[in-house]
Structure formats: C-alpha cells, structure tokens
Amino acid sequence: MKPSPNTPAPSDAESRKAVVPVVCYPIDSFPAFDGAPFEAAKQGMELIETVIVPPRDARTFVVPQGHFCRITCPEGPQVGDLNLWNANDLNERFFSGKTRALHGTHVGRGDRLWSNLPHLRPMATITHDTLDWYGYDAFGGGVHDVIGTRCDPYTNAILNGTDYHYCCHSNLTRALTDHSGLPMAQAELHVHDVLNVFMCTGFTRDTQQYFMKASPVRQGDYLELFAEIDLLGGLSACPGGDCSASHSSEEAQCHPLGVEIYKPKSLPAGWTPPQKAPYGGGHGMG
C-alpha cells in the first residue's frame, strides 16, 4: 500500500501520468497458438494415471513429454498451488515471473508456462480451461494467477505469530522430499513461486493490494496442460479451500484435487520439442 504523498505535485503532474504505456514484452514474434492440432491429438487418448491430492496436502506426478495433464476439481471448490520441474533436472523449473511478463497476470488457453534462466523455454502449454468464461470480474479478479507466491510458514509466523505446517510451501517441500529422496532442507530450495490453479485474484483498485476471493471452480472443472518437456509436477491443495476467507486455515472447508495424465495416440501435427533459449553467452557469462 502506498503511503499518503508528502511531496507536492509538480505543475506537469497530470501530463506525466497521462503518458501512454508500452507493453514490455510484445510477443508478436511467437507463433500464434493453434488449438486444432492439440484437439486432434486428444482424440482417443488414453488415461494412464490418476493422482488424488488430499485436502491440505500435496502430491507429485510425472507427465512425459508429449502427454496431456488435467488438474481437476473432483468434489467441491478448491484451489491449488502448482510447481513444475524438468523431470530430469530439478534446476530447471517454472518461472512464474517471466510467464507473467510474457502472458499477463492470469494465464489461460494458449499461454505457455516458461522455465527459469538460463533455460527459458516452454515447459507446458495450456490447451483447455473450463473456467475461461470467467475473464475478469468487476473487481479486476481473474483465475489461474501467476501473481502470488504460495502460502508459507515464514510469512504466517511474521503476520500471525504462529507456526502452521500445512501451508502450500511446506506441503510441496514434503511432497518433493518423498519423490526425490532429498533431505527436506535441500528439497525446500527447489520449491518455487507457483501457478495458482483455480484461484481468483487481482489487485484492489484503491491500494493495489493483492486480493483473493471465492473461486468460481466447481466439481468437474479442469485446467489442461500439454507437456512440452518431461515434467515433474507438484500440486498442493491449499489449506484455504476456495480461498474465500484465508489462505491457511484449519476452519476453511477443503476438498481434494485430482491430476489425470493422458497418453495421446500421436503427437500434435507440426509440434517440435522446445529448445533452450538461443542466447550465446556474453558479459562474462558464456
């Protein structure tokens, strides 16, 4: 929240504010998303694994390159915090900040989920979203945000003075520890800022503070991803349930989330595996 100004406005204040903004990262050079090859590839695809994420807990799952993954709402309204890693190298992971800079505060069909530097390539592409009808509401809220981080025990301790061990950060750390065999202190270093699946968020108009509100997700909704590389996913069913009141709570009504992994009969026509960023080095980095 910005404090009240104590510096008098200059005479040209309004003209300075009226300067037209420029998009930082125009993506016109990217190939436009064509959903038809993905839809064709999904015809007759085979469900090969289902993972259920219990309320206030997390699970990992593996999605081979060229497969589809659906994050589902099998029971009642519930949001989830998603981490993605290269299944063969945990050092390559989802880069929410660059994804936000390229695609916006909330992602949807056709948007790509990018990996961190120096890799910077699409890890997954969103190919279907049953909540795409929501758009942005009168408060500026939208679903599937890459704004927030993840609820964590450190912030909880600072704000509330209490220890809570089922924050999404903690849940994801335990799930990655169980999958990888890494000590928890090492696994925690790989847990990163998330895609808030199904979460409805925005910024308040007056103070520009990050807000959440009850998610519009309902039983049967799903977000579908196409794995551009071999993926290891981690998904936490947020202890805030639908996030209508709190991010971390023992009182909120929580539900499980589901993950369905599908093997298509063929790859999407024209699809090629993404290459790492073509930057050749320089400035002492090459």
pLDDT digits (tens, 9 = 90+) for 41-75: 999 999 999 999 999 999 999 999 999 999 999 99
The vertex-218 CA angle with 253 and 61, nearest 5°, equals 80
Using alpha carbons only, what angle is made at residue 266 by residues 260 and 271, rounded to the nearest 5 degrees?
95
Does residue 280 surpass a pLDDT of 90? no
Smallest CA-to-CA distance from 238 within 227, 247, 225, 250 is with 247
Give the mean model confidence (pLDDT) for residues 247-269: 93
Q: How far apart are the first and last CA of the chain?
A: 41
Q: Residue 16 pLDDT > 80, yes or no? A: yes
Model confidence, pTM: 0.95
Residue 282 pLDDT class (50, 70, 90 cuts): low
* Strand ranges (E), the chain: 46-53, 58-63, 68-72, 80-86, 89-93, 112-114, 122-129, 142-145, 195-203, 210-213, 222-227, 231-237, 257-263
Boundaries of every domain in the chain = 47-217+235-255
- Closest among 78, 120, 67 to 233, alpha carbons compared: 67
The model's pLDDT over 161-208, given as tens digits with 9 standing for 90+, comes to: 888 889 999 999 999 999 999 999 999 999 999 999 999 999 999 889
User: And the tokens for 66?
Assistant: 């060229």
* pLDDT in the model for residue 128: 98
Rounded to the nearest integer, the mean pLDDT of the chain is: 95
Does 249 score more than 90 pLDDT? no
Half-sphere exposure of 24 (CA within 13 A, CB side): 7
Res. 5 pLDDT band, cuts 50 70 90: confident
Cβ burial, residue 275 (10 Å; 0-12/13-18/19+): exposed
pLDDT tens digits, residue range 227-244?
999 999 999 999 999 999
State the Cα–Cα distance between residues 62 and 225, nearest whole angstrom. 13
Predicted local distance difference test score (pLDDT) of residue 97: 97
Higher pLDDT, 284 or 120: 120
